[in-house]
Structure 1
Amino acid sequence: MPILLGRRHLLRAGLGAAALPGLRSLAFADQGGADQRGAPLLVLVNLRGGMDGLHALSPADDADFVDQRAESLRNPSAGPQAGLRLDASATVDFRLHREAAPLAEIWQDRRMAIWPAAGVPQATRSHFEAQAMMGLGQGLRAERGGGTGWLAAWAAGAAPAGADVAALSAQGGLAPELMGGQHSLAIAGLGDGLSSPGGAFGDAMLEALYRRGHGPAAAAGQEALAGLRSIDRLLPRDAEGKLLAYAPAAGVDYGPGREFGRALAVVAQTAKLNPALIAATADLGGWDTHEAQPGRFADRMRVLARGLGAFDADMAGLPRRWTVLVASEFGRRLRSNRSNGTDHGRAGVILAFGRGFGLGRRFGDWPGLTPDALDEGVDLRVATDYRAVFRTVIADLAPGAPPPPFARS
């Protein structure tokens, strides 16, 4: 049974969360060293804030779309703001944002699938509700608090026997999709290693503290220490024991991806060191563009595309299949507002790509933007339940693994 540790439990046990990197909300089972080179890897990228899917991927020649939005909030087919043509449809000229060139290249390489109108099936414009539904894999409104993330549950069932850390959240705490599961670890960075701040002495103190303790805090502490050590032992060091900086594949630069690129570098390094890693998450926020959207959106798209492009190149030599799945909690309204932005909407874009990817150049259903096709007369309608997308992607990646445990209603 997984044991979750929050800050309050740690303080009661006499240990602040900062004493052990990544200890908050951890759950570990017995660690092992089995070689699992064939384990597939799913990387879930969450675009927190509600990315405007119609700005990321515009139906450039749609008359209703052109009529409702300023050119600065769409990707036209010509001019300085022209988008990148995908040739995804025989009837609609879909254009990726001009800053998404690395993603367009993956599409042209036939290693990407796109669902242009996907989302949660029930109408909500609440960030909290939509993220909770997607995190728990529910279609109905998620209960506040508690629950196990769908990715945590899937990873626990699909992880190879004797796995080390099977799931990773590349940030300071576990993403909602990984909450409540086993074999999960949050790592914001690997540059300083994963040993305790007090070195060998501090490590021994923590070991003694948890060995003598009783209850869930002590048990989780022992398991967390074992998990952190298992990853720390894999980090490369020089002859004097000093950690060596991560060296991605030749020509790969995560720098243009900024904070998002650094998170993806953590995922890539861990995946290369730990062949049993089967799931990982990375977040990129800043998509809640109610005002001044053109510049803000271009910046986020630049960071997203450069980060994913670097990750794709860095992981090209990984000797197993992997897939990146990119989604946001909802899209934004068709009509732009008076602040040169867009408000919370319904359907958005979900995309997936990878190596050994069998869904290349699949393009999902498009309901159109005519007045009678819109949801409540204002939003792009959800044509594909996000759970159907996720099931399809995971079935392609790991056909022999159990499907994700999504609610079906």
Structure 2
Amino acid sequence: MIARLGRRELIRAGLGAALLPGLRGLAFAGPATAHAPLMVLVFLRGGMDSLHFLSPADDAAFVEMRAAELRTAADGAQAGHRLDAHRGIDFRLHREATGLAEIWRDRRLALWPAAGLPEPTRSHFEAQSLMATGRGRSREARGGGWLGAWAAALGQDVLAGPFALAGQGGLPPELAGAARALSLPALSGGLALPGGRIGALAIEALHAEGQDAVSRAARAAIGDMRALDALLPRDGEGRITPYRPANGADYAGVGGFGAALATVAQAAKSHPGLVAAQVDLGGWDTHEGQGWRLPGLVRTLSRGLAALDADLAGLPRRWCVLVASEFGRRLRANGSGGTDHGRAGTVMAFGRGGALGGHFGAWPGLSRDALEDGVDLAVAEDYRAVFRRVMEDLAGRSVV
């Protein structure tokens, strides 16, 4: 059997042929296997200032128009990690992005420095909604998320029962519509249903015979929770033993973000049916005090992702971590030591088994005539084309 992410599914996800002419479908290998690829989305809510995170350090226009404390420089106290990614421009990752810089040097990180929505918007709500579904304004915004569609498209490709996971409280809109999705901030306490044994029996009885969407989803969630719970390691008295990350991975020091990533890693290593996961990291709306706020955010992001990269290194299937934010920020600083909502931003992807490592996307430049509306880094690549390329690379198949 061949499972196919075809034209209908891709159009439903907003990533299909109607948006990207000449692309018709994405084929996955068959027959059904326990080694389907895993996509992990890390969404940076608030609009990350990608020009501070990934700076064209020696670009004359950048140096002239961006305050020094909001730039990653080529030398001095603000010097960042040199990438040697672009002929003629010295791009530098923020000094706190050490873990990501190491993945780049390992030729497993891809960067798109000027990707974003083709529709001009500086609204968090609208931008996040558009990106969650993958649809443009001309398409009806209702329906599921693109990551949920990815999980659904793998439904015939996994023997172990495909499911999606949000490593946090509440299901994000990107996973909406997934037939089987769980929201699990942690696995340390197991996956018992609320209300103890009596509560579990009541929930099961309530949905046992129903054929409506809610009852089917409830039965699937109960089954997935029990299947995953049964795989968690326990001691002789049945208590869940603490999770031990592989390869020296250390999630300490990055708070809830690290805990959420550890949950994803543990679930991925325990259950081969996990095909899609998401973790959000907020706080990127740096209208003021960006100079002292951004380093901590980048440190958290980079250390957390480096730990996840080490922890998943031995996973016996292809996996990818895709990192994006709803938009970038203005080139010029505002009067509060921050930056306001902009347009293009940086998209990142890394993992094991793909071939995108070392890729560096299109760069439109920061000269006055290259800026969008004279103030913003212009969108050089539609984020949907970038996401589609990452999906294609992870699936290990060309679009046919």
Q: If the length of structure 1 is used for normalisation, what is the TM-score? A: 0.86
Partner of 1:359: 356
Aligned length: 369
Retained in 1: the 8 A contact 2:57–2:92?
yes
Tell me the SS of whatever aligns to 2:254: helix
How far does residue 402 in structure 1 lie from its aligned partner after superposition? 7.9
Partner of 1:166: 163
How far does residue 401 in structure 1 lie from its aligned partner after superposition? 8.8
Retained in 1: the 8 A contact 2:34–2:158?
no
- Name the % identity: 58
Question: Which residue among 126, 143, 150 is the counterpart of 1:147?
Answer: 143
Q: In structure 2, do the counterparts of structure 1 residues 285 and 143 end up closer, same or farther at CA, with 3 Å as the change threshold?
A: farther
Retained in 2: the 8 A contact 1:132–1:142?
no
Q: Tell me whether 1:249 sits opposite 2:259 in the alignment.
A: no
Tell me the SS of whatever aligns to 2:362: coil
Question: Which residue among 163, 174, 177 is the counterpart of 1:177?
Answer: 174
Counterpart of 2:101, as a letter, is A
Retained in 2: the 8 A contact 1:77–1:83?
yes
How far does residue 151 in structure 1 lie from its aligned partner after superposition? 1.1
In the alignment, the residues of structure 2 paired with residue 330 and residue 297 of structure 1 have an alpha-carbon distance, to the nearest angstrom, of 16
In the alignment, the residues of structure 1 paired with residue 135 and residue 209 of structure 2 have an alpha-carbon distance, to the nearest angstrom, of 40
**1:199-223 superposed Cα distances (whole Å, 9 cap, x missing partner):** 3333223222333667444443333
In the alignment, the residues of structure 2 paired with residue 49 and residue 190 of structure 1 have an alpha-carbon distance, to the nearest angstrom, of 27
In the alignment, the residues of structure 1 paired with residue 209 and residue 173 of structure 2 have an alpha-carbon distance, to the nearest angstrom, of 31
**1:112-143 superposed Cα distances (whole Å, 9 cap, x missing partner):** 11000000111000001111111001133675
Tell me the SS of whatever aligns to 2:208: helix
Counterpart of 1:206, as a letter, is I
In the alignment, the residues of structure 2 paired with residue 133 and residue 212 of structure 1 have an alpha-carbon distance, to the nearest angstrom, of 37
**1:59-103 superposed Cα distances (whole Å, 9 cap, x missing partner):** 001111111121110001111111111111111000100000000
Q: Tell me whether 1:62 sits opposite 2:84 in the alignment.
A: no
Deviates more, 1:190-199 or 1:344-353: 190-199
- CA RMSD, aligned part only? 1.9
Partner of 1:302: 299
In the alignment, the residues of structure 1 paired with residue 211 and residue 363 of structure 2 have an alpha-carbon distance, to the nearest angstrom, of 56
Partner of 1:349: 346
Counterpart of 1:155, as a letter, is A
Partner of 2:81: 84
How far does residue 237 in structure 1 lie from its aligned partner after superposition? 1.0
Tell me the SS of whatever aligns to 1:372: coil
Retained in 1: the 8 A contact 2:34–2:160?
no
Counterpart of 1:122, as a letter, is E
Question: Map of 1:228-307 to 2, 5 A cutoff?
Answer: 228-307=225-304
Q: Tell me whether 1:331 sits opposite 2:309 in the alignment.
A: no
Tell me the SS of whatever aligns to 2:369: helix
Partner of 2:385: 388
Retained in 2: the 8 A contact 1:165–1:185?
no
Q: In structure 2, do the counterparts of structure 1 residues 214 and 42 end up closer, same or farther at CA, with 3 Å as the change threshold?
A: closer
Partner of 2:26: none
Question: Which residue among 99, 120, 124 is the counterpart of 2:121?
Answer: 124
Deviates more, 1:236-245 or 1:194-203: 194-203
Q: If the length of structure 2 is used for normalisation, what is the TM-score? A: 0.88
Retained in 1: the 8 A contact 2:114–2:361?
yes
Question: Which residue among 304, 312, 317 is the counterpart of 1:315?
Answer: 312
In the alignment, the residues of structure 2 paired with residue 86 and residue 143 of structure 1 have an alpha-carbon distance, to the nearest angstrom, of 40
How far does residue 399 in structure 1 lie from its aligned partner after superposition? 2.8
Retained in 2: the 8 A contact 1:50–1:331?
yes
How far does residue 234 in structure 1 lie from its aligned partner after superposition? 1.3
Tell me the SS of whatever aligns to 1:371: coil
The runs of 5 or more residues in structure 1 that have no matched partner are 1-33, 404-409
Partner of 1:136: 133
Counterpart of 2:176, as a letter, is M
Which segments of structure 1 move beyond 3 Å, counting only runs of 4 or more?
A: 34-37, 141-144, 212-220, 400-403
The runs of 5 or more residues in structure 2 that have no matched partner are 1-30
In the alignment, the residues of structure 2 paired with residue 326 and residue 399 of structure 1 have an alpha-carbon distance, to the nearest angstrom, of 20
